[in-house]
Structure 1
Amino acid sequence: MYTSAGFRYIPNVLTVARILVTPLLLLLLTVPSQAGQASALALFVLASLSDYYDGVLARRFQVRSRLGQYLDPLADKILVLGTFAMLALQEPTIVPWWAVVLIAVRDGAVTALRSWVEAGGTTLQTHRAAKAKTMLQLAFLFGVLVLRTATHLAPPVRDWALWVLQDSALPGVALAIVVGVTLATGMLYFVAPTEEHVETE
Structure 2
Amino acid sequence: MTMTSDMRSPSRSVYNVPNALTTVRFGLAIGVMVLIPMGMQFAALVLFVIAVSTDWMDGYWARKYGQVTKFGRIFDPFVDKIIICGTFIALVEVVGSGVASWMATTIVARELLVTSLRGMIEGSGGDFSANQLGKWKMVLQCAAAITILLSLLYPATVWLGYLGQTFLWSAIALTIYSGYVYVIAAAGVLRKDVS
- TM-score, normalized by the shorter chain, greater than 0.5: yes
CA contact 1:15–1:50 (8 Å) conserved in 2: no
Give the match for residue 22 of structure 2: 15
Q: Does residue 135 of the first structure (1) align with residue 139 of the second (2)?
A: yes
Moved more, 135-144 or 53-62: 53-62
- The AA in structure 1 aligned to 2:174 is V
Unaligned runs of 5+ in 1: 152-158, 196-201
CA–CA separation in structure 1 for the residues paired with 2:171 and 2:94? 19
Amino acid at match of 1:13: A
Q: 1:122-157 deviations in whole A, cap 9, x for unaligned?
A: 563222331222122111111111222234xxxxxx
Whether the 8 Å CA contact 2:17–2:58 is kept in 1: the answer is yes
| Corresponding residue number in structure 2 for 1:156 | none
1:182 and 2:189 aligned: no
Report Cα offsets for 1:152-188 as digits up to 9, x if no partner.
Answer: xxxxxxx22xx346xx644333212101111222233
Instruction: Decide which moves more: 117-126 or 67-76.
Output: 117-126
Which range is displaced more, 122-131 or 73-82?
122-131
Per-residue displacement from partner, 1:64-117 (whole Å, max 9, x unpaired)? Answer: 332222122211110101000110111366111121111111111111112212
Alignment size in residue pairs: 181
Contact 2:144 2:168 in 1 (8 A): yes
Shift of 1:48: 0.8
Superposition map of 1:113-152 within 5 A: 113-122=117-126, 124-151=128-155
Q: CA RMSD in A?
A: 2.8
Runs of 4+ in 1 over 4 A off after TM superposition: 1-6
For residues 27-176 of structure 1, what are the structure 2 equivalents within 5 Å? 27-32=34-39, 36-91=40-95, 94-122=98-126, 124-151=128-155, 159-160=156-157, 163-164=158-159, 169-176=162-169
Q: So what's the TM-score if we normalise by structure 2?
A: 0.78
Shift of 1:2: 7.8
- Contact kept in structure 2, 1:76 and 1:134, CA below 8 Å: no
Q: Relative to 1, partners in 2 of residues 1:91 and 1:58: Cα closer, same or farther, differing over 3 Å? A: farther
1:5 & 1:120 partners in 2: Cα distance?
Answer: 23
Cα separation, 2, equivalents of 1:146 and 1:123: 39
Q: Who wins on radius of gyration, i.e. which is larger?
A: 2
* TM superposition score normalised by structure 1: 0.75
Structure 2: unaligned runs, 5 residues or longer: 1-7, 190-195
Identical positions, percent:
29
